[in-house]
Chains A and B, each alone.
Chain A
Amino acid sequence: MSKIKTYEEINQKLKQGKAVVLTAEEVSQLAKHASPAEIVEKVDVVTTATFGAMCSSGALINFGHPSPPIRMEKIRLNGVPCYEGLAAVDGYIGATACDPDTPAYGGAHVIQDLLEGKEVVLEAWGKGTDCYPRKHIYTSIHINTINEFTLFNPRNAYQNYNVAVNTTKRMIHTYMGTLLPNMRNATYSTSGELSPLLNDPELRTIGIGTRIFLCGAQGFVVWNGTQFNTSRPKNKFGVPVTNAATIAVMGNLKEMSPEYLQAVYYEKYGVSMFVGIGIPIPVLDEDLARRVSIANSQIETSVLDYGTEGMPKLDQVTYEQLQSGYIRVKGNKIRTAPVSSLAKARKIAQELKVQLQNGQFEISKPIQLFPKNTSLKPLKETEAENG
Chain B
Amino acid sequence: MVKKRYILNFPPESGDKPLSYHLVRDYDIRINILKAEVYPGKRGSLLLELQGKKENIEKGVKYLTDQHVVCEPLEKRIHFEEKKCIDCGNCTAVCFAGALTMNRETWKLEFDKSKCVVCELCIPACPLHLFEIDFK
Contact = CB atoms under 8 A, between A and B. Distances in A.
Interface of A: 51-53, 104, 173, 177-180, 184-185, 187, 262, 264-268, 272, 274, 323-325, 335, 337-344, 346
Contact of B93 (A51, A52, A177, A341): A177
A211 B92 CA distance: 34
22 contacts: A52-B88, A53-B127, A178-B90, A180-B93, A184-B96, A187-B90, A187-B93, A264-B88, A265-B129, A266-B127, A268-B124, A274-B88, A337-B90, A337-B92, A338-B89, A338-B107, A339-B89, A339-B90, A339-B93, A341-B89, A343-B107, A344-B86
A338 B125 contact: no
Contacts of A324: 104
Contacts of A268: 124
Nearest to A265: B127
Contact of A267 (B86, B89, B106, B124): B124
Contacts of B94: 177-178, 180, 185
A344 B87 contact: yes
B111 to A, nearest CB: 14
A335 B94 CA distance: 10
Given A264-B127, A265-B127, A343 B108 contact: yes
A341 B125 contact: no
B90 A177 contact: yes
B33 interface: no
Nearest to A52: B88
A267 B121 CA distance: 11
B88 A267 contact: no
B46 interface: no
Interface of B: 86-90, 92-94, 96, 102, 104, 106-108, 121, 124-125, 127-129
Looking at chain A's contact residues, the main secondary structure is strand
A279 B124 CA distance: 33
B121 A341 contact: no
A343 B125 contact: no
Contacts of B104: 323-325
A57 to B, nearest CB: 15
B86 A262 contact: yes
Contacts of B90: 177-178, 187, 337, 339
Contacts of A323: 104
Contacts of B102: 337-338
Contact of B106 (A184, A187, A264, A343): A343
Nearest to B128: A264
Contact of B88 (A265, A335, A339): A339
Contacts of A264: 88, 127-128
Nearest to A267: B124
A185 B124 CA distance: 16
A338 B88 contact: yes
B107 A342 contact: yes
Task: Name which of B86, B108, B121, B128 has the most chain A CB atoms within 10 A of its CB.
Answer: B86
Given A180-B94, A264-B127, A338-B107, A274 B121 contact: no
A154 to B, nearest CB: 21
Contacts of B107: 338, 341-343, 346
Nearest to B98: A335
B26 to A, nearest CB: 41
Given A178-B125, A262-B86, 9 more contacts: A177-B90, A177-B93, A185-B93, A264-B128, A267-B124, A267-B125, A337-B102, A339-B88, A344-B87
Contact of B124 (A178, A335, A346): A178
Contacts of A272: 127
B22 to A, nearest CB: 38
Contacts of B89: 187, 337-341
Nearest to A268: B124
B125 A274 contact: no
B15 to A, nearest CB: 33
> 7 nearest interchain CB pairs?
A264-B127, A337-B93, A338-B89, A267-B124, A342-B107, A343-B87, A343-B107
A168 B1 CA distance: 43
Contacts of A185: 93-94
B86 A274 contact: yes
A268 B88 CA distance: 18
